[in-house]
Amino acid sequence: MTRRGYYSDFGGAFVPEVLVATFDELTRAFDAARSDPSFWAQYEALMSSYSCRPTPLTYAENLTRHFGGARIYIKREDLNHTGAHKLNNVMGQGLLVRRMGKSRVIAETGAGQHGVATATMAAKFGLECSVYMGAVDVERQRPNVFWMERLGAQVVPVNEGSRTLKDAINEAFRDWVSSMDQTHYVLGTACGPHPFPEMVSYFQSIVGLEARRQLLEATARLPARVYACVGGGSNALGVFSGFLEDPVELVGVEAAGHGLETGQHAARLASRDASVGVAQGYKTYFLQNADGQMRPTHSVAAGLDYVGVSPILAHYHRTKRVRFEAATDREVVQALALTARKEGLIPALESAHAFARAFKEAPTLSGDQVILINQSGRGDKDIFTVAEAFDDPEWKTFIRNKAEDYGA
C-alpha cells in the first residue's frame, strides 16, 4: 500500500506550511462528499440539467468506412456546456465549495477555457471569482477574457516571468495563501498537489462510466482501444477510468508540435525530453532543463501546451497500463478537417490529437473490433488557428476588414 496522494512515487503535496490546513480541510470535504451516497446523485442531477449529461456516444460510420478497419465510436464531451469536459470538474468542485461554505473561488487559466468554465460555475453558484492569467495569454485569448468578464469574473493579468500559464499558477497560489478562509482554488486538471489529481479524476470519471455502459449497449463488446488527448491529463483519466480493469488498451496522445525531433513540442511521456522533478506542488515528469528551468513548449492546441503532466498518468506510464503517443500539428489539423468533412463534427484541436492517432491505427484493426475516441471538446473556439493553418484567404480579408472598421 502506497501513501495516499502518491502514484508510484509521483504526486504528493509540496505546499507551503500556511496552506497545509487548507489542503487538509479540502481532503476532508472531498472524502466526506465521496462517501455520502447522495453526493454523486446530486452531481449527476446537476450535470444532466445544466450540461447535457449523459453526453451521447456517436458511431462514426463514415470514418469507419473510410479507414476500413475497426469500428470507430466517439464520446461527445464537446456537448457539455461551455464546450468541453472541463465543466465536469468545475461543477463538481462547485458542489464541494458549497459544502465547505466558502464564498469565493480563484483559478488559473492558459488558453482561457478553464477560466470560462470556472466563471460559469461561479455565476451559477453565486460565488465571487478571480481568474489569474498570464498577460501574454490575456492578449492572445481576448474572446475568452471577454466572456469571463461578462460572466462576472475578475480577470487578473500576471506580469511575472514568462507571463503565461505557469506564472498564473504561482500567482493563484499566492492569492490562496492570503485568502484561504473564504476562498477555494479550482484547479483545472488532474495535476498539482494532492488531493487535486485524485479529486479532478473522480469528477471526470463520469465520462468513462457513461462511455463503458453506452458502448456495451451499442456494440455488446468492450473496445479494443480507447484514445484520449493528454494536456494535464483530466479528460484522459476520465475516459480511461471506465476501462482500467478491462482488457482494453488505453492510448494517451500528447502534442508532438512541430515534431519530437525539433524539441518544439509538449510531449512529456511520449518523448525522452522530460525528467522527473518537483514543481508547482507535486512530483511528475516536467519538460525542464538540467538545472530545473522549465522549457518552452509548443502545440497548435493551447490546451495541451503544459510542462507537467498528471502524476496518475506518470504512474500508468511507468506501469505500462497506458501507452503514450504524440501527434504533430500537421497531423492534427488534417484529422480535424477529415472529421468535419466525414462526420459533421468539429473536434477541438486538443481532441484532434486523439483522432489523429486513432486514424493511424484504425486501418490495422479488424471490422469486428471497436475503438473509442474521447472528443474532449468542440473546435469552434479554434477558428483563428485553423483558418490560419489552412491559409484561408477569405478569412484574412474578413479579419482585415474588421480591423479597418476599428480604424486600424
Ligand X SMILES: *Cc1c(COP(=O)(O)O)cnc(C)c1O
Kindly report the number of other CB atoms within 10 A of residue 285's CB atom. Answer: 24
Q: 303 and 286 in contact (C-beta within 8 Å)?
A: no
CA–CA dist 95, 115 (Å, integer): 17
Binding status of residue 231 toward ligand X by CB under 6 A: yes
Half-sphere CA count of 54, side-chain side, radius 13 A: 16
CA–CA dist 173, 28 (Å, integer): 20
180 versus 191: smaller Cβ distance to ligand X: 191
CB of 317 to ligand X, least distance (A): 14
Pairing state of beta strands 128-134 and 104-109?
parallel
Binding status of residue 377 toward ligand X by CB under 6 A: yes
134 versus 377: smaller Cβ distance to ligand X: 377
CA–CA dist 203, 34 (Å, integer): 10
Binding status of residue 351 toward ligand X by CB under 6 A: yes
158 versus 301: smaller Cβ distance to ligand X: 301
Measuring CA to CA, which residue among 93, 23, 35, 10 is closest to residue 310?
10
Position among 106, 376, 382, 386 found at the interface with ligand X (CB under 6 A): 376
CB of 81 to ligand X, least distance (A): 13
Taking CB under 6 A as the rule, which mask of x and - marks residues 291-310 in contact with ligand X? ------------xx------
Cell of 82: 461551455
Binding status of residue 235 toward ligand X by CB under 6 A: yes
Binding status of residue 113 toward ligand X by CB under 6 A: yes
Range in contact with ligand X (rule: CB under 6 A) among 29-37, 165-173, 233-241, 292-300: 233-241
Binding status of residue 88 toward ligand X by CB under 6 A: no
Binding status of residue 233 toward ligand X by CB under 6 A: yes
Binding status of residue 350 toward ligand X by CB under 6 A: yes
Residues that are catalytic: 86, 108, 376
CA–CA dist 157, 142 (Å, integer): 12
Q: Which residues contact 319 (CB under 8 A, 6 or more apart)?
A: 8
Q: What is the DSSP letter of 60?
A: -
CA–CA dist 13, 6 (Å, integer): 9
Measuring CA to CA, which residue among 237, 227, 226 is closest to residue 203?
237
Position among 230, 267, 352, 358 found at the interface with ligand X (CB under 6 A): 230
Binding status of residue 86 toward ligand X by CB under 6 A: yes
Position among 189, 205, 271, 339 found at the interface with ligand X (CB under 6 A): 189
Residues that bind ligand X (CB under 6 A): 84, 86, 113, 189, 229-236, 303-304, 348, 350-351, 376-377
